[in-house]
Amino acid sequence: MSQSIKQKLVALGADALADLFIEVASDSESVQNKVQRAVSSRTQNVSLFQQKLKSIISDNRRFIPWKYSASFADELRDLLHDIKEGASDHHQGLRLVVEFFKADEHFLNMVDDSSGHVGDVFRFEALKLFAEYAKGIGDRNNLIEIVIELLEKDDYGVRDCLIDEAHKFLEKSDLERLFEIVQKRSSGTRQDQRDSWGWKLPEIARQMANAPLFEELTRKRAGDRINGKLIVDIASVYFESGDLSKAQALIDEISNEDSFAAFDKKELQKKILKASGRTQELTSLLIDQFNQHYSKHTLNELLEVVGVAERQKHCLAAIEKIAKRTTWNSSDAEFLVYCEAFDETEKYIIVHQGSLDGDFYSSLLPIAVAMEENNKPLAASLIYRSLLDSILARAISKYYHHGVNYLEKLEVLSRKVIDWSNFASHQTYFEGLKKTHARKSSFWSRVND
């Protein structure tokens, strides 16, 4: 379809397209900026960036509420596009991105960034552009000085990404030089200076793949507060540097009762077993994981090791165990659907109908759709009823259109149900619904429509 539209646009001709772009641009600032960049030279785009940046910084009266923070973030991304389309070389590009980073105080003082939209522009798009230009800088010492200068005033925490992702633009020798400078800064006389620079050292050591140094720094900073998650973190650096035996020895120190570190420990253990070729142990761990939580992810992770030929075997075993369970678990129902065990899913829903909670619509709705599409009208109806009951119980009118949709589905499904078993028929359910929620005129007016 997109190709067809493109051909039709080409057929309009240059003049008609120009008029169309001008018209569309008049309705959208974002489109207007794209058109402006497209028809401007590199020098002009750099000027656009500088003019927009100056305009935003000088607008002291403007404060952006939380609900508009995402739009402001888009405005800042647009500045970065100006840089990308305007910079003539790596040096100019880096200088302009540094200007952008140095404006962080102005940007963040003029917006409620509770959702982190603006901060993410720095941590992702600005960082990516910084790294792209930084890789082309020949004077590495000067580049490191630029990074240090930016980190010296990171009052809003959006510049620390330059340390966290330094490996994206610094070679190992550059990282070692950066480490030396940061280490000197962390040895200052002021406590706040030692703290602000000291936390950066382990992260640089990690990227240097210097596991012993990372362990030393991490244990020193943690002191008596060392915990299982930190030990897993240390073990991960040893693993990444190729020392599998040390990584294994470290996670073996962590108690199986340490629930706080359990997930990270298991994830690293899987990596170690896979890398060291201990297939039997890895298979055993993955089977245990699968049996603890049946899901598409845990099944596929297991099948990557044992082979897809084992799929039916493990699905059937899981289906049998789920059928015997006495409590409802939506993830179990999702897994039954994934295994295409629609008869078993229907039975599972019917048995646990009393536990269906429509408040959890994000997990229930896909199951209802699967039942509807696979000719299980009773099971689908039971779920749609729970979703509708939840909407009406919460009495939030902006969700009523969803409730109307569910009611319409129930009407259609009711014609396909042959046996309602012990459940109320659709007519009985509908009469009860009208009686219980008779005063919700906003909902019923939409039904009548």
Quick one: pLDDT at residue 1?
47
With beta carbons less than 8 A apart as the criterion, state whether 335 and 363 touch.
no
In 3-state terms the chain splits into helix, strand, coil percentages (rounded to 5) of 75, 0, 25
**CA–CA dist 215, 195 (Å, integer):** 18
Tell me the sheet residues that pair with 111. 64
Quick one: pLDDT at residue 12?
76
Q: Is 11 exposed, middle or buried (0-12, 13-18, 19+ CB in 10 A)?
A: exposed
List, in order, residues 6 or more apart from 260 with CB less than 8 Å away.
227, 228, 229
Q: Is 308 exposed, middle or buried (0-12, 13-18, 19+ CB in 10 A)?
A: exposed
List, in order, residues 6 or more apart from 356 with CB less than 8 Å away.
328, 349, 364, 382, 383, 386
**CA–CA dist 98, 100 (Å, integer):** 5
Tell me the sheet residues that pair with 64. 111
Task: Report residues of the chain scoring pLDDT below 70.
Answer: 1-3, 19, 21, 23, 25-29, 61, 189, 448-449
List, in order, residues 6 or more apart from 194 with CB less than 8 Å away.
186, 187, 188
Q: In angstroms, how far is CA 8 from the centroid of its own chain?
A: 37
Question: What is the residue extent of each domain of the chain?
Answer: 339-449
Name the 3-class secondary structure at 64.
strand
Query: What token pair was written down for 311?
Result: 């799929």
Quick one: pLDDT at residue 449?
54
Query: Tokens 């012993």 map to which residue?
Result: 212
CB atoms within 10 A of CB 149: 12
Quick one: pLDDT at residue 3?
63
List, in order, residues 6 or more apart from 33 with CB less than 8 Å away.
78, 81, 82
| Length, in residues, of the chain | 449
